[in-house]
């Protein structure tokens, strides 16, 4: 029987694992472990170059030069980075700090927010 070690995972990963795990007849911890094993195998696959992926993610190489699997990894990383930026984005606070007003929709009504 395998032993386990506690680790910390981001809240969004835990929430996703908690939601998916019952569908796969696993606990949340088992689901995270499953995803980790898949990631490990994927990164060690002979037809996936993590160096090429890192170069594309670092804007030092072209996405079009990657094979299909490498492109899938890049797209997944782009989605994660975009979602993280959206979670971190708080324009209301930024505008308030700059003393700027802004306009937004609130239940279909146009509302002007003053600093």
Q: What is the pLDDT of residue 37?
A: 85
Would the pLDDT of 103 be above 60? yes
Would the pLDDT of 1 be above 60? no
Of 14, 16, 17, 70, give the one whose Cα is nearest residue 46. Answer: 70
Would the pLDDT of 73 be above 90? no
Three-class DSSP category at 57:
helix
pLDDT, mean of residues 74-91: 88
Q: Calculate what percentage of the chain has a pLDDT beyond 90.
A: 45
Mean pLDDT of the chain: 89
Neighbours of 12 (CB within 10 A): 12
Place of tokens 């030069």: 65
> What CA–CA distance (Å, rounded) separates 2 from 74?
32
Beta-ladder partners of 106: 109
pTM for the model: 0.56
pLDDT, mean of residues 47-62: 91
Q: How confident is the model at residue 15 (pLDDT cuts 50, 70, 90)?
A: very high
Would the pLDDT of 55 be above 90? yes
Written as six digits, the tokens of 94 are 């930024």
Of 99, 55, 62, 57, give the one whose Cα is nearest residue 81. Answer: 57
Written as six digits, the tokens of 29 are 């911890």
What's the Rg (C-alpha) of the chain? Answer: 20
Q: What is the pLDDT of residue 2?
A: 64
Q: What is the pLDDT of residue 98?
A: 95
């Amino acid at each position: 029987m395998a032993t386990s070690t506690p680790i910390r995972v981001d809240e969004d990963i835990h929430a996703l694992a908690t939601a998916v795990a019952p569908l796969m007849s696993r606990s949340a911890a088992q689901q995270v472990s499953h995803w980790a094993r898949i990631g490990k195998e994927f990164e060690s696959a002979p037809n996936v170059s993590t160096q090429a992926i890192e170069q594309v993610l670092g804007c030092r190489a072209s996405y079009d030069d990657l094979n299909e699997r490498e492109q899938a990894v890049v797209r997944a990383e782009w989605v994660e980075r975009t979602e993280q930026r959206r979670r971190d984005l708080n324009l209301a606070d930024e505008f308030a700090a700059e003393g700027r007003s802004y306009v937004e929709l609130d239940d279909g009504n146009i509302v002007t927010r003053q600093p």
